[in-house]
Structure 1
Amino acid sequence: MKYVIIIPDGCADEPLDSLGGKTPLQAARLPTMDAIAAAGCVGVTNNTPVDFPAGSEVANLCLLGYDPNEFFTGRAPIEAAATGIELGPYDCAVRCNLVTVDDQIMVDFTAGHISTEESGELLAELNQTLLSGEHPAVPAELAERLEFVRGVSYRNLLIYRGDADHPSPFTPTTRSTAPHDLTDLSIADDFPRGPGSDLLVALMSASAEILADHPVNRARAAAGKSTATNVWLWSSGGAPGLPTFDERFGLKGVMITAVDLLRGLAALAGWDRIEVEGATGYLDTNYAGKGQAAVDALEQYDIVCVHVEAPDEASHEGRADAKVEALEQIDRLIAGPLWTAVSAREDARILILPDHPTFCRTKKHAHGPVPLVMAGCGVEADSAKTYDEISAGASGLTYDPGWTMMAKFLA
């Protein structure tokens, strides 16, 4: 069997006045996804357990069939795996956003979608200055164990290297808030709390002084772009221990994504990764390149998974029109060629679903069910003719908890 999975991140939404009372999935022209619905079945799955944040880290873990109660240790350790960083038993990874804060308001959790190159320059300055061992905000004995590590664009990491005598100061009870949940809101009450939080807050505060007059920020300000005012540290954790898909299902998989979180999950699941030129993790990503890479990978792999961040980014910006456009691009340039490839085979299935809802109205992730559609070999068709939240919710097919869905899809 060949299995295709398409993840339009955060595409589930609510009816919007700007779309005539329709959700983005309903408003978008999705001939391929609707054809898949007509040929197969729709339903809902809940990838956001109420005891966990409604973040992509938990939701995608669930989507891929892993129980977060057993395997989730934080977002940052997953992203560390994407870059080949191995965490020892006393080490810890912390997610590090470059953000724009103005008068205690989270203006932009992406610092204007700052480039990877610019991020690298800013983090290098923080490593040299803030973690020199001489900066008053960070004791020398801690500074030598810390390192800012560049990721992609605004998504970066802080790594702590510990040992038996100096374990990580951050524990599972260290609380933090995702910056994308603070858009346009005050950050005053959302700084880290709990074990190690004093260090995290000190790093965040000191970074503002160091980055304020950095050449990268001066150049961005001169160009009318958002500046990276400081780092925002969140979602710390130690190394997770996931069984691979080969160990669980005897299947070889590959991930196509531009986001380190999904790269990291792929690495932990034992999947290969395909990097597509022009894939950005934003609205301007190379949809066609991802679709073609996925079709080409079908012969080599049992599971081909394509993740597209664009719908989620549009939601975080509150742009329903951009979300509709992203969905239409996914339908035409990714789902279209893959559905053609699946339809031409007698041993293939396709599954499309987001990880979690992201509402344009609130610009935030949300708990709750998301719609799925699957078709192909062995999938019995139901009466649905469209793929959207309403038709999926009315189908009666429900996977809750969501981590039970993947085993059923692969059965």
Structure 2
Amino acid sequence: MKYVIIIPDGCADEPLDSLQGKTPLQAAKLPAMDAIAAAGCVGVTDNTPADFPAGSEVANLCLLGYDPNEFFTGRAPLEAAATGIQLGPYDCAVRCNLVTVEDQIMIDFTADHISTEDSTAMLGELNAQLLRCDDPPIDPEVASRLEFVPGVSYRNLLIYRGDEAHPSPFTPTTRSSAPHDLTDLTVAEDFPRGPGSDILVALMSASEEVLAAHPINVARQKAGKKTATHVWLWGSGGAPGLPTFDERYGLKGVMITAVDLLRGIGALAGWPRIEVEGATGYLDTNYAGKGEAAIKALAEYDIVCVHVEAPDEASHEGRADAKIEALEQIDRHVVGPLWDAVKNDSSARILVLPDHPTFCRTKKHTHGPVPLTIAGAGIPADSASTYDEISAAQTGLVFDPGWTMMDRFIYPDFQA
């Protein structure tokens, strides 16, 4: 069997007045997704358990069949895996965004989509002035064990290296808030809390002075761009231990994404990744390149997973028009070519679904069901003819809990 998984991140939404009561999925022209819906089945799954944050970290684990109660340790460790960072038993990873905060309001959780080059330079300065200086703003022993590690654009990490005598000061009860859920909101009540939070808050506060004087920020301000005013530290956790897909199903998979979170989950699942030139993790990503890479990968791999971040980014900006455009690009350049490649293959299946809902109205991830559609070998057709939240809710096909869906997608005897 060949399996194709397409994840249009955050594409599930709610009816919007600006779209005459339609959701973006309903308003968009999606002939390929609708063709899959008509050929197979449509239903819902919930990848955001109520006792976990409604974030991509938990949702994508669930989507790929991993019970977060057993396997989730935090977001940052998943992203650390993407860069090949090995975490020991006393280590910890913390997600580090470069953000724009003004008067305690989260203006931009991406610092105006700061470039990787600029971000890397700024983190280097933070290492020098906050962690490797003579008078750090935190305990010197802790500072000596911490390091800011560049990632992609605004998405970076803070790594703690511990030992038996100096285990991580951050524990599973260390609480923090995702900055993308605070857009245009006050951050006053959302600083880290719990064990080790004093360290995180001190570094977040101290970063303001260092970053304000950085030549890159001075130049950005003169150019009329938003500046990176602070680091925002969140999503801490220790090393996760996931069984690979090969161990679970005897299948060889590959991940295509521009986002470190999905790269990391893929790496832990035993999947190599294909890097597509021009894939940005934003609205300007190379949709066609992702589709072409996925089709080529079908010849070598049993499972090809394509993740596209663009719909989620549009939602975080509150732009329904951009979300519709992203969905149509995904349909045209990713879903359509892949459906054409497998629809006549008697030993192939295709699955389309987002990880979680992201509402344009609130600009936030949210808990709740997402629509999915599956077609191909052994998949019975139902009465649905479109792929959207409304039609999915009407078929009666429900995967609950969400992490049970992958077993039914993979195993030969699929039953709706």
Q: TM-score, normalised by structure 1?
A: 0.99
| Partner residue in 1 for 2:362 | 362
Q: CA deviation at 1:96?
A: 0.3
| Partner residue in 2 for 1:284 | 284
- 1:356-391 CA-to-partner distances (Å, cap 9, x unmatched) read 000000000000000000100110000100000000
Runs of 4+ aligned structure 1 residues displaced above 3 Å come to none
Kept in 2, the 8 Å contact 1:133–1:143? The answer is no
Q: CA deviation at 1:220?
A: 1.1
- Alpha-carbon distance between aligned partners in 2 of 1:223 and 1:383, rounded to the nearest angstrom: 55
| Partner residue in 1 for 2:323 | 323
| Partner residue in 2 for 1:224 | 224
- Alpha-carbon distance between aligned partners in 2 of 1:136 and 1:164, rounded to the nearest angstrom: 23
Q: In structure 1, give the amino acid aligned to 2:34.
A: D
- Alpha-carbon distance between aligned partners in 1 of 2:403 and 2:48, rounded to the nearest angstrom: 10
Residue 227 of structure 1 aligns to a residue whose secondary structure is coil
**1:182 and 2:182 matched:** yes
- Alpha-carbon distance between aligned partners in 2 of 1:248 and 1:64, rounded to the nearest angstrom: 11
Q: In structure 2, give the amino acid aligned to 1:320.
A: A
**1:11 and 2:11 matched:** yes
- Alpha-carbon distance between aligned partners in 1 of 2:391 and 2:25, rounded to the nearest angstrom: 11
| Partner residue in 1 for 2:414 | none
**1:304 and 2:273 matched:** no
Q: In structure 2, give the amino acid aligned to 1:375.
A: A
Q: In structure 2, give the amino acid aligned to 1:74.
A: G
Q: In structure 2, give the amino acid aligned to 1:319.
A: R
Q: CA deviation at 1:149?
A: 0.4
- Alpha-carbon distance between aligned partners in 2 of 1:246 and 1:181, rounded to the nearest angstrom: 35
Pairing 1:74-85 to 2, within 5 Å after superposition: 74-85=74-85
**1:148 and 2:148 matched:** yes
**1:33 and 2:45 matched:** no
| Partner residue in 2 for 1:265 | 265
Query: What RMSD, in angstroms, separates the aligned Cα atoms of the two structures?
Result: 0.6
Number of positions where the alignment pairs a residue of Structure 1 with one of Structure 2: 411
Q: CA deviation at 1:136?
A: 3.7
Kept in 1, the 8 Å contact 2:145–2:161? The answer is yes
- Alpha-carbon distance between aligned partners in 2 of 1:143 and 1:65, rounded to the nearest angstrom: 37
Q: In structure 2, give the amino acid aligned to 1:22.
A: K
- 1:340-368 CA-to-partner distances (Å, cap 9, x unmatched) read 00113221000000000000000000000
Q: In structure 2, give the amino acid aligned to 1:233.
A: L
| Partner residue in 1 for 2:102 | 102
| Partner residue in 2 for 1:382 | 382
- Alpha-carbon distance between aligned partners in 2 of 1:107 and 1:133, rounded to the nearest angstrom: 30
Kept in 2, the 8 Å contact 1:170–1:196? The answer is yes
- Alpha-carbon distance between aligned partners in 2 of 1:224 and 1:31, rounded to the nearest angstrom: 41
Kept in 1, the 8 Å contact 2:136–2:143? The answer is no
| Partner residue in 1 for 2:159 | 159
| Partner residue in 2 for 1:251 | 251
Kept in 2, the 8 Å contact 1:133–1:141? The answer is no
- Alpha-carbon distance between aligned partners in 1 of 2:135 and 2:285, rounded to the nearest angstrom: 40
- 1:238-273 CA-to-partner distances (Å, cap 9, x unmatched) read 000000000000000000000000000000000010
Pairing 1:42-81 to 2, within 5 Å after superposition: 42-81=42-81
Q: Larger deviation: 128-137 or 114-123?
A: 128-137
- Alpha-carbon distance between aligned partners in 1 of 2:396 and 2:287, rounded to the nearest angstrom: 32
Residue 166 of structure 2 aligns to a residue whose secondary structure is coil
Q: Larger deviation: 154-163 or 211-220?
A: 211-220
Q: CA deviation at 1:132?
A: 1.1
Kept in 1, the 8 Å contact 2:131–2:146? The answer is yes
Q: In structure 2, give the amino acid aligned to 1:219.
A: A
Q: CA deviation at 1:152?
A: 0.6
- Alpha-carbon distance between aligned partners in 1 of 2:343 and 2:373, rounded to the nearest angstrom: 15
Q: TM-score, normalised by structure 2?
A: 0.98
- Alpha-carbon distance between aligned partners in 2 of 1:391 and 1:149, rounded to the nearest angstrom: 44
Q: In structure 2, give the amino acid aligned to 1:290.
A: K
| Partner residue in 2 for 1:135 | 135
